[in-house]
Amino acid sequence: MQIGMVGLGKMGGKMAERLRRGGHDVVGYDRDPAVSDVSSLKELMERLQEPRAVWVMVPSGPPTHATIEELGNLMSPGDLLVDGGNSHYVDDQRHGAFLGTKQIGFVDCGVSGGVWGLQNGYALMVGGSKENVDRMMPVFDTLKPEQDGFVHAGEIGAGHFAKMVHNGIEYGMMQSFAEGWELLEASDIVTDVPGAFKSWRTGTVIRSWLLDLLVRALDEDPALEELEGYAQDSGEGRWTVQAAVDHAVPLPVITAALYARFASRQDDSPAMKVVAALRNQFGGHAVTSKEGSVAKGADSPGADVVPPVEAQK
């Protein structure tokens, strides 16, 4: 099958390669001319035979909006566009409606597999009409692993909604491993922390690919001394938590994992300053100033404030 691939970055480029290895005719476009087969989206359209199929694999938000708008004005009725980036499912519905006015088909596809997808295959969660999904099945069959790894999750938006929830779960799992590692490192009983994680890879209920990847990271850097404790978020964790609020579904683990990433970016937590100040005020607990000196609550301005009766009990 012939397909245009827009965005040849660390995932899009490997997906294009997996498709080529599977016998598909892939014409790729990227802003980097060193990896691009054509010089523009217009030239990409000229290279593809009608009815065209184009897969967009660019960052979510404005880059995806702009790319789909430009393609929508270049493509013809009967063409089909797949958004395989990490788009918000609400945006999918808007993109589908826009393309629908031009009689261009639209499928949203959540893709998981990262840099390992070329070798292992990509898990695909797609949304769209049965007609459009069936049309793309030769491509989906090549990209996915040999067993499982594919779902037609529902109508437009369902694919990225499923991928959003997948990433939320991923946040919670990673945070659990992270907290377990920190506790083991803090213990003076366990002397082989990497070995402990390695022992869990076989025969335990928490064995997983994430655990395998953590063991690999610990093999390279046993105390993770080369890394800073700073974690970004792609946006899907936030969308998952927002969707939970919209549907009144409690997600305490995923929400806490997202907030932990926010906390990782703070050199000096404003919230913890308030906590330290309050502990100093009501209990005389020591606090450390930026100069490193220690102050006592009894010496603080609020030390002579009489607490309410309830607080004195």
Residues catalogued as catalytic: 163, 170
User: Which residues, in sequence order, are CB contacts of 290 under 8 Å at separation 6+?
Assistant: none
**Residue written as token pair 């035979």:** 49
3-state SS of 166-188 is: HHHHHHHHHHHHHHHHHHHHHCC
User: Which residues, in sequence order, are CB contacts of 294 under 8 Å at separation 6+?
Assistant: 286, 287, 288
Using DSSP, state whether 103 is helix, strand or coil: coil
What span, in angstroms and rounded, lies between the C-alpha atoms of 165 and 244?
10
What span, in angstroms and rounded, lies between the C-alpha atoms of 22 and 157?
27
> Are 212 and 137 within 8 A, CB to CB?
no
Parallel, antiparallel or unpaired: strands 25-29 and 2-6: parallel
Output DSSP code: residue 222.
T
Which stretch of DSSP H or E encloses residue 258?
helix 252-264
Output DSSP code: residue 50.
S
CA dihedral 226, 227, 228, 234 (to 10 degrees): 160
**Residue written as token pair 């083991």:** 184
b/e map 85-111, b = 16+ CB within 10 Å: bbbbbebbbebbeebeeeebbbbbbbb
